[in-house]
Amino acid sequence: MFIKALRVGLGQLIIFIDFITRPRKLRRSAEEQARIAEEAASLALYQFNACPFCVKTRRAMHRLNLPIALRDAKNDEAHRADLLAGGGKIKVPCLRIEGSGESRWMYESNDIIRYLESRFPQA
């Protein structure tokens, strides 16, 4: 019981620190941002809200100004089932990449951030 309360408290602290230290969004022209939004529509991040690695990944998404859909794999049974069926395991963060009629599932925050930075360069 104590451990669970500690974990919840630390999770809320992580979320608060992320909120007050969030990086500035990358600025793009309206046309460029619309193109980015269209490309990002094929992506979804399966995550837990207070997971430090998920926070790290969401911070990179915020910095790159990427409107990627977030899927709560902890509290939403449908998203959790999708993650297990598609990715093969309940591990977050996990980026689902749709393209060419198939889904690719990418785990590990550093790999996801590297992928996003290469696919959506800061120009």
| Domain segments of the chain as ranges | 2-23+41-119
Q: What are phi and psi of 2, to 5 degrees?
A: -65, -40
Query: Which pLDDT score, from 0 to 100, does residue 10 have?
Result: 85
In the predicted model, residues of the chain with pLDDT beneath 70 are 123
Cα gap 4→2, rounded to integer Å: 5
Query: Which pLDDT score, from 0 to 100, does residue 106 have?
Result: 97
Query: Which pLDDT score, from 0 to 100, does residue 123 have?
Result: 64
Look up the CATH number of domain 2-23+41-119: 3.40.30.10
Secondary structure (DSSP) of 38-99: HHHTTEEEEE-TT-HHHHHHHHHHHHTT--PEEEETTT-HHHHHHHHHHHSS--SSEEEEEE
Query: Which pLDDT score, from 0 to 100, does residue 47 have?
Result: 97
User: pTM here?
Assistant: 0.88
